[in-house]
Amino acid sequence: IHPLKNDPDKALCMVCNSTFGATHQGKRNVERHLSGSEHKRLTQMFKERKPLTSVFAADTLQNKVMNAEVLFTGFILEHNLPFEAAAHAAPLFREMFPDSAIAKKHGCAATKTVAIINYTMAPDMRNPVVSYMKEQPFSLTVDGSSDTGTESMYPLVLRIFDINRGEVCSKFWHMCLVSDSRAKGIFVQVSDAFKEYNIPWENVIGLSLDNASVNMRKHNGLTHFEKQNKSIYTAGCPCHIIHNTVSYAAKAFAEETRFNVDDFLIALFYYFDKSTKHHLKSTAAFVIKNTYDATRWLSREVCIDRALKQYPSLKSYFASQPEVKSYPRLCRLQQYFADLKTEVYLLFYHSILPLFSDVNKLLQLRRELTCFMHKLLGRFMQVTAYKEKPVTEVNMQDPSNFLSDQKLMIGFSTRMTIQKHNLFPTEEAAIVKGCRSFLVTACQYEFSHLPFTDVLLQHTEVLQFENKVADFDSLVYFVERFPTLKAKLDGKMDQLYDQWTAYKLLPDSIVENDRIDNIWSQLGSMKQQDGARKFDLLFEIVKHILVLPHSNAEEERIF
């Protein structure tokens, strides 16, 4: 019972939503209303009424089931598992946890998993990336699948500087389905994605493509991208080039020695893995633990290492097998293992391939890389031939620059094995000639394909913290090179010079990391006494440089 606001002589009953006089008998008037039949009926009805929340109460168990399905979908996504795994998960969970009510109701198969990813997780993951693309510089990497269907997948992966992690990282942004795999068709799909998300082309400062003809050679698809942004820096994939270097060098080695390492590894794999004999198939997992693929980076070294570890056993096995002329693969393998020089050839590859594999791994790890050419040149050339000069100016035609056959670095184990087998001098000379041919061909291929003379890459010396030899002109080069930088630093070049001078006075001990991007993240967060960032302008230039592409390993991993 409450007093009526507009009429103080009356009272309002909240149960009946009715008014009555309360000034005549006061308390008696109230008691009379409360004892009335209508008030009692409404009071009883209110007692029996359930709250609205009980009608729409959430099913606690259903919420737990939904939470489990979303968590497992995230697990599939994080570990790049096939969606079909989700279809088998629910029956497995019910078997593993028979007393769990959540497991009994878990019903997230492939279709539901795809829906959760596309309509629930994808927007939350994509939106921060799109926001970054609209405001910050980034590099775009594009690569196509090898599908033979009517449409090919072209993932668009970004190389950005994550300010929260303090390092360069790659983010998957969009998947284009391309039916016209010509240069113009690929560009149209990429351009449509930019229009869909309203991404300005001005923020694309780098473009990484593989070295296919449709991208980098006679069918050059770069022109379509360069029309959108003339300042864009384009790069092929050095991981592909390094892999191809070994392939071309291996061909030169085979021409001199008649030993084709690819043929040897493929024959060994197919003999065991594809054999119709059950005992050979069961042996394959032990003998050829790693599958060799001529197009797969790093696989050659791993397979050679495995073959050398099993070499005595393999040699004994093939020596014990009867010669079957109708089985050419077996005959080739018997010839390989009967030849004493085969082990020497494999040991040479085991010695030289880590040089190329280590570089490839560093590029895939997004580490900034110092040129490895000096290591390769040191295997077969006099130090005086390449010391204190650009590697592109090394004279590869002058025999006086080469090491002698006795000093040629073909691997310590290789030399020891040659002595152990008591090979003839002519055989040893032929092996050394093949090794030299491999090394020379590798250097020549890299000189002609890797961007040693690229002006932009030469100016990236400004990144080197431990060796601050770069000039301020390198910073000016990047400001003039990229309009996004020019707009941000307009009228601030004098401040930039002061920051550059202060940076060069920093001691090496001030940094706590060994990665270039981590070092600059630390420097970019340093503050002055007034709280302003000490190297804010310099850090803007560095972020542009760090996101420039140097391999397309990230989009390759998508497949």
Q: What is the pLDDT of residues 92-106, one digit of tens each?
A: 999 999 999 999 999
Residue 527, beta-bridge partner list:
533
Question: What is the second-level CATH architecture of the domain 123-238?
Answer: 2-Layer Sandwich (3.30)
Task: Determine the residue type at 397.
Answer: Q
**What is the pTM assigned to this prediction?**
0.71
Q: What does the alpha-carbon distance between residue 466 and residue 139 come to, in Å, rounded to a whole number?
A: 26
Sheet holding 18-21, edge to edge: 2-3, 10-13, 18-21
Taking the CA of residue 147 as centre, how many other CA atoms within 13 Å lie in the half-sphere pointing to its CB?
15
Q: What is the pLDDT of residue 552?
A: 66
Q: State which residues of the chain have pLDDT below 70.
A: 50-59, 146-149, 211-223, 274-297, 363-373, 552-559
Q: What is the pLDDT of residue 44?
A: 84
Neighbour-count burial for 274-302, b at 16+ CB within 10 Å, e otherwise: ebeeeeeeeebeebbebebeeeebbbbbb
Q: What does the alpha-carbon distance between residue 455 and residue 372 come to, in Å, rounded to a whole number?
A: 19
Burial grade of 158 (CB within 10 A; 0-12, 13-18, 19 or more)? buried
Alpha helices per DSSP H over 120-181: 122-135
Q: What does the alpha-carbon distance between residue 108 and residue 102 come to, in Å, rounded to a whole number?
A: 12
Task: Determine the residue type at 271.
Answer: Y
- Other CB atoms within 10 A of residue 526 CB: 15
Burial grade of 172 (CB within 10 A; 0-12, 13-18, 19 or more)? middle
Residue from 363, 402, 361 nearest 381 by CA: 402
Residue 176, beta-bridge partner list:
154
Is 61 within 8 Å of 103 (Cβ atoms)? no
pLDDT, one tens digit per residue, over 340-353 is 999 999 999 999 99
Q: What does the alpha-carbon distance between residue 335 and residue 315 come to, in Å, rounded to a whole number?
A: 10
Q: Look at the alpha carbons of 345, 351, 352, 357 in this order and tell me if their dihedral is positive or negative.
A: positive
Q: What does the alpha-carbon distance between residue 309 and residue 346 come to, in Å, rounded to a whole number?
A: 11
The pair of structure tokens assigned to 479 is: 């400001």
